[in-house]
Amino acid sequence: MILPFIAAFTIGLICSPAGVTGAFLLLPFQISILGVTSPVANSTNLLYNILSIPGGAFNFWRKRKFLPSLAIALVIGYLPGIYLGSLVRVTLLSDIRVFKLFMAAVLLYLGLRLLFSRSERLEGEIETLKSGFTGVEFRFAEDNFSFNPLAVFCTSFAIGIIASAYGIGGGALMAPVLAAVFGLPVKAIAGANLVGTFAASLFGIISYTSLGYPPDLSNGLAMGAGGAMGIFIGSRLQGRIEERKLRILLAILILVVSLRYIFIF
């Protein structure tokens, strides 16, 4: 179980400063390196999320880089989408060849979104100015930002379907959307995104287990322990890394994996 631990630690360390767990990279690792091709890989990936997220989320909350209203909107939207996604995985995407192409498409979208989205070097604490069902406004790094919780809910529902079918909690898909579409800074949404991913992953495991695909505990525990350590350290280092560099690093990692599945099918 040393290899899953090391892989999860490295991925968590690199990805957590951007508010994602790196589960989107662990799924290809399970399929191509560990040889797990059934939906068990999906539920094991979700177990990794549950075990690895709490420490990193706590760091963001302690640093006052956490938006409760955003986290709530994400969780409520994710839950129904997650179950629908698990059904899609065990039916329409049961053929591993089809699933690999699906993974490549999801990763390609993620990589391109991150690579071409604009960002600024922003640092600071979050101060909520207004919070309601139709609008939330907050201050971060001496600038004001806002979002519509209902729009976030609808978006997270749709993303929950895709994320669960892939085998992730949704944070990796949601982060670039929140940044590029909603115009929110990555470092301000990271904590809420991790909490949303945690809730979605918990419900995802329940969904996959009810469908007969419980997680592999040995791989899941090893990856969870490695990821927990990597995410905890990575979230503490977030303030020392420029946001644009985070985006480029993640984009390169994602695109390399995506192109591998497209051209080495």
Kindly give the confidence (pLDDT) of every residue in the chain, 265 residues in length, as a single tens digit, with 9 standing for 90 and above. 799 999 989 888 877 776 667 788 888 888 888 888 888 988 998 998 888 888 777 777 777 778 889 999 999 999 999 999 999 998 888 887 888 888 888 888 878 877 776 655 556 678 888 888 888 998 887 789 999 999 999 999 999 998 888 888 887 788 878 887 888 887 788 888 888 888 999 999 999 999 999 999 999 899 989 988 888 888 777 666 665 676 677 778 778 878 877 776 5
Contact 243, 122 (CB under 8 A): yes
Instruction: Report the pLDDT value the prediction gives residue 222, as an integer from 0 to 100.
Output: 92
Instruction: Report the pLDDT value the prediction gives residue 243, as an integer from 0 to 100.
Output: 59
Q: From the CB of residue 14, how many other CB atoms can be counted at a distance below 10 Å?
A: 18
Instruction: Report the pLDDT value the prediction gives residue 208, as an integer from 0 to 100.
Output: 92
Residue matched to tokens 């994996």: 257
Q: Phi/psi at 93 (nearest 5 deg)?
A: -115, 30
Residue matched to tokens 């990193």: 56
Give the pTM: 0.78
C-alpha span between 39 and 216 (Å, rounded): 10
Contacts of 205 (CB under 8 A, 6+ apart): 43, 46, 47, 50, 214, 215
80 CB-contact burial (10 Å; exposed 0-12 / middle 13-18 / buried 19+): middle
Instruction: Report the pLDDT value the prediction gives residue 75, as an integer from 0 to 100.
Output: 92
Instruction: Report the pLDDT value the prediction gives residue 128, as an integer from 0 to 100.
Output: 83
Instruction: Report the pLDDT value the prediction gives residue 58, as an integer from 0 to 100.
Output: 77
99 CB-contact burial (10 Å; exposed 0-12 / middle 13-18 / buried 19+): buried
